Structure 1
Amino acid sequence: MSLINHLARLEATSTGRAQPTATVRHRHLSQRPLVLVPLTTAGETGAPLGALVGTERTSPRLLVVAQPRDRDLRFAFLTQLADSVLPYIDGYAGDVELTERAETDPATNKRVKVEVELCADAPQLIVPSRAGIEFVRLLGRSMRFRRTAEQDPETPYPAPPHVPLLGRWLTHFGERARVPGSALLLAMTDLLSRHWATGQSSLEDQHLGALLAWVEAPEGTSGAEAAFRAERGRDAHGQLLCPPAGPATDPAFDNKLLAPAIERYDKARTRLAAAEDAVEADGRLAELTAAERELHALVESRTRPTWDAVWRGLDALCTLPEGPRAADRWTRDRWSFTGHRDRVAAGEPPQPRRDDAVTAANKLATREREQARLDAQEALDDPLVMAGRRLAGEALAGEVTEVVPAYNDKKRPRPLITLRTDDRPHLGERVKVYRSLDGKAQTAEFVAYESEGTVVLRLLDKMGRGKEPDPGSVPEKGERVCWTLFEHEQRGGPKLPEPEETPWTHGGPPGAGAEAPDTVTTEDIL
């Protein structure tokens, strides 16, 4: 965390209001995001209890699992979830644009430009908190290997159609969420805490209600008191006024309301199954319907406040203009979405449970590169973020006081720029610095400190091909410029071998030496 963020937290504690840590929005927000508010059963990992899902603020779809331990009811929930999510994803898969992309020609092993399809836009999923992202990944992992009756008629517990496909998409969204700067799957708490600093800890910021209490605190009120009420406030029945932002539930809700309601539902199902005539069955069916309605009302009472909070968070984020470079990161998300769409359409198998050595190394390198690129782009887009880098000695800004023409041995222009600055950058001999010039990075090198607060730099590139620098390529006297010690674009790392060429020191090629699994017997099936 930068010094600017620490100062913002102190200011928030002093004023009782969240303080901005950004002047622009550093994540792309879709015009039509899909909001998902999941709810899980306590004590059973990954057992869904219900969810609110939809793209319309006023009309979400409520999904409920009346008995989370019932396999059929859980499959029915996943089928309904697939019916809500997959059409939304498919709506972006067909609208494409043609663009050129550099690819390696296998015949010549050279980079050539080819015309390929790129989806014009991509879907965006928004969940309340970081735990919601992990739940999406868990759902994807538990669904993508399921076999349907059409795929395998002899499978003992066939999954409903489209459930494995939804698992593959949720896995892709969950994996993409681990790439810094990606916006395919976002947590509202992470979005808000990136753009505002509160007077509470980062762990407390994962409670969406408490975080919004700081952001929405009216003038003259205390965000700390509002956050305390959001976390601890209860009604006359002992239930939280602002339920947790999912997927976990409150123990008081589980013990006092949910458990008795599920017990009544189980008894109603048992009585209906034991009914001996049509008249008795009609009465038991009405009893079961009433129990189901009660469970639906309970789940909605826990998820609807969080649903409304997510949309209020979107309203707050939309007050900030989108950062100029957020569109570039969204384009990379579109490439990712298009690539997975093509893999699914080509009939490729689902993502493996465990990556091979080369794939894992590629993922790690990609995430490290994207993190460095995100840090640089946020600083270039936002003066407030750049101020944090300047305080850390990673950038300097100041006024140009003198420009001296100079040339190298090949008679190429290398002018000297004298800059007066109050910053204290970590400069050493021949250290390179960069500034943004027409969207590209212009490089200079540190020459010397002329006096305290005065730095001399030598320009190295982006001045044209002539003997004299192009107009506008050299800062003028009196101009205020900002130089960074970090590069604006990240370089690619060394090329890794193909997965089929994985060396023996890293396990060999995928599948090499792997033992065949034992044959499934009747004893293996419960």
Structure 2
Amino acid sequence: MSLIATLARLEAVRSGRAQALATVRHRHLSERPLVLVPLTTAGEAGAPLGALVGTDRDAPRLLVVPQPRDRDLRFAFLADLADVVLPYIDGCAEAVEAAERSETDPETGKRVKVEVDLCADAPQLIVPSRAGIDFVRLLGRSMRFRRTAEQDPETPFPAPTRVPLLGRWFTHFGERSRVPGSSLLLAVTDLLPRHWATGQSHVEDQHLGALLAWIDPPEGTTGADAALRAELARDGSGQLLCPPAGPATDPAFDNKLLAPAIERYDQVRIRLAAAEDGVEADDRFGELTEAEHSIRTLVEKCTRPTWDAVWRGLDLLRELEEGGHVADRWTRDRWSFTGHRDRVAAGEPPQPRRDDAVTAANKLAAREREQARLDAQEALDDPLVMAGRRLSGEAFAGEVTDVVMTYSEGKRPSPRPLLTVRTEDRPHLGERTKVYRSLAGKPQAAEFVGHEELARGGGLVVLRIVDKMGRGKEPEAGTVPEKGDRVCFTVFEHEQRGGAKLPEPEETPWTHGGPPGEADTVPQPDPVTEEDVL
């Protein structure tokens, strides 16, 4: 936690209201996101109980599993969920635009630019909390390996055709959510604390009702009091006024309301199965419909407050202006979405349960690189975030007090102007340390030359600019700061470099699945196990 964040939390406790951690929004928000509020059975994380899902905040689709232990009812729930999610995904996959991408020419081995189709937009899935992201990943893993009657007519308990497809998309969303800065799958309880600091712990911030109470407390009360009410207040029957933000349920709800309703449903199903004539069966069927309706009412009552809270959180986030680099990160999400769309259309097998060594290493390296890029871009987009980096010695800002034109030695001297910057910051600089500033969206590098402390406080930092000044003997206009300009340099790089290239999966050594050419090195689909079945 940065010093700025610590001070903001202390101020939130003192003032009774959440304090801003950002001046801009650092994540992309779609104009038409798909919100999913899931609910699971207590003690069975993979057994869905119900969900509210949709793109219309006033008309969500309610999906319920009256008996979560019934495999057929669970598959029906997943099929209904696919009927909502897949058309939304297909709607984003249809509109494309021309884009250029670098690829390796198989004949020359050189990188060349080719024109490909890029989806003009990508779907965005919003869940209430981080546990909702884990649930999406779990559903994806449990669905993408399911066999359908078309694939295997003799498979027991065949899944509807659209269920494995939904599993592949949920797996892709879950994997993409692990990439820092990605916005395909977002949790509101991760978005809000990134932009506001509350007076409670990070664990308590995962309660959406308490989090919103700190950010936007009711008139005449403090965030702490409103958060306590959101967490503990109950009605006359002992039920929480603000149920958890899914997918978990409250024990009082399970024991007093849900369990009796499901037991009644089971008893009616038994009596319906034992009905001896049509008249009795019609009566029992009416009772079954009524029992199922009571369960649907309970699930809707439990999920609707969270549904409204999710949209309220999105409204608060939309009040912030989008950061300058957010669009670039969303473009990378669009590339990821387009690539998975193409793999599905090409008939490739589902994602494996475990990645091979090369794929896992590439994913880890990519996530580390994206995390460093995200940290740099957030600081460049947001003065408040940059202030935290300045306090930690990773950046400094000040006024240019002198500019001396010097040149490099050699046959073709290049401009190497010396800047003297007066700053109150204390950056961590060593001999010839590289520092960077943003120039027209590109990083301009400079070398640290020297530092002088001033008696009145602060100091003078001398820098030598080394690039982004054009090819001429004199720097191009605007590429060198002038005396009196305010500048901000960072010790961290603005653009991240790629690591060493890893071998292809089929060329890995025997310690990682080789040697190449042997039959057992060919990737095979993972067998279906009990872990892959809900």
Same fold by TM-score, threshold 0.5 exceeded? yes
Secondary structure in 1 matching 2:244:
coil
User: Matches of 2:288 and 2:219 in 1, distance apart?
Assistant: 50
User: Matches of 1:351 and 1:414 in 2, distance apart?
Assistant: 52
User: Matches of 2:107 and 2:155 in 1, distance apart?
Assistant: 43
Report the AA paired with residue 223 of structure 1.
G
- 1:393 matched to 2:399: no
User: 1:466 deviation in Å?
Assistant: 1.0
C-alpha change, 1:87 and 1:274, in structure 2 (3 Å) is same
User: Matches of 1:324 and 1:229 in 2, distance apart?
Assistant: 38
User: Matches of 1:126 and 1:431 in 2, distance apart?
Assistant: 42
User: 1:220 deviation in Å?
Assistant: 5.0
Partner of 1:458: 464
Whether the 8 Å contact between 2:36 and 2:51 is mirrored in structure 1 is: yes
User: Matches of 1:356 and 1:200 in 2, distance apart?
Assistant: 41
TM-score (norm 1): 0.97
Partner of 1:247: 247
Report the AA paired with residue 262 of structure 1.
I
- 1:371 matched to 2:377: no
C-alpha change, 1:515 and 1:311, in structure 2 (3 Å) is closer
Partner of 1:344: 344
Secondary structure in 2 matching 1:402:
strand
Q: How does 1:204-353 map to 2 (within 5 A)?
A: 204-218=204-218, 220-353=220-353
User: Matches of 2:418 and 2:452 in 1, distance apart?
Assistant: 12
Give unmatched runs, 5+ long, in structure 1: none
Secondary structure in 1 matching 2:397:
strand
Partner of 2:428: 426
Partner of 1:441: 443
Secondary structure in 2 matching 1:494:
coil
Partner of 1:61: 61
Partner of 2:482: 476
Secondary structure in 2 matching 1:46:
strand
User: 1:153 deviation in Å?
Assistant: 0.8
User: Matches of 1:85 and 1:517 in 2, distance apart?
Assistant: 26
Report the AA paired with residue 288 of structure 2.
L
Partner of 1:123: 123
Report the AA paired with residue 423 of structure 2.
T
- 1:92 matched to 2:92: yes
Partner of 1:132: 132
User: Matches of 2:496 and 2:445 in 1, distance apart?
Assistant: 14
Whether the 8 Å contact between 1:143 and 1:163 is mirrored in structure 2 is: yes
Whether the 8 Å contact between 1:8 and 1:21 is mirrored in structure 2 is: yes
CA deviation profile, 1:486-519 (whole Å, cap 9, x unmatched): 0000000000000001112223269736999999
Secondary structure in 2 matching 1:45:
strand
> In angstroms, what is the RMSD of aligned CA positions?
1.7
User: Matches of 2:427 and 2:525 in 1, distance apart?
Assistant: 59
TM-score (norm 2): 0.96
Partner of 1:188: 188
Equivalent residue in structure 2 for 1:505, among 511, 520, 529: 511
User: Matches of 2:157 and 2:382 in 1, distance apart?
Assistant: 53
User: Matches of 2:268 and 2:256 in 1, distance apart?
Assistant: 19
User: 1:90 deviation in Å?
Assistant: 0.2
User: Matches of 2:414 and 2:285 in 1, distance apart?
Assistant: 89
User: Matches of 1:219 and 1:209 in 2, distance apart?
Assistant: 16
User: 1:450 deviation in Å?
Assistant: 3.0
Secondary structure in 2 matching 1:316:
helix
CA deviation profile, 1:95-141 (whole Å, cap 9, x unmatched): 00011111001111110111101000000000000000000000000
Report the AA paired with residue 212 of structure 1.
L
Partner of 1:485: 491
Secondary structure in 1 matching 2:319:
coil
User: Matches of 1:167 and 1:289 in 2, distance apart?
Assistant: 30
User: Matches of 1:460 and 1:184 in 2, distance apart?
Assistant: 39
Partner of 1:40: 40
Large movers: runs of 4+ above 3 Å: 513-520
User: 1:336 deviation in Å?
Assistant: 0.1
User: Matches of 2:522 and 2:359 in 1, distance apart?
Assistant: 18
Report the AA paired with residue 418 of structure 2.
L
C-alpha change, 1:515 and 1:402, in structure 2 (3 Å) is closer
Q: Which moved more, 1:277-286 or 1:131-140?
A: 277-286
User: Matches of 2:202 and 2:292 in 1, distance apart?
Assistant: 38
- 1:4 matched to 2:12: no
Secondary structure in 2 matching 1:23:
coil
Give unmatched runs, 5+ long, in structure 2: none
User: Matches of 1:503 and 1:334 in 2, distance apart?
Assistant: 34
Secondary structure in 2 matching 1:103:
strand
Secondary structure in 2 matching 1:435:
strand
Whether the 8 Å contact between 1:499 and 1:509 is mirrored in structure 2 is: no
User: 1:262 deviation in Å?
Assistant: 0.1
Whether the 8 Å contact between 2:352 and 2:526 is mirrored in structure 1 is: no
User: Matches of 1:191 and 1:512 in 2, distance apart?
Assistant: 44
Whether the 8 Å contact between 1:386 and 1:395 is mirrored in structure 2 is: yes
Report the AA paired with residue 204 of structure 1.
E
C-alpha change, 1:219 and 1:440, in structure 2 (3 Å) is farther
Partner of 1:165: 165
User: 1:442 deviation in Å?
Assistant: 0.4
| Identity within the alignment, % | 79
Report the AA paired with residue 196 of structure 1.
W
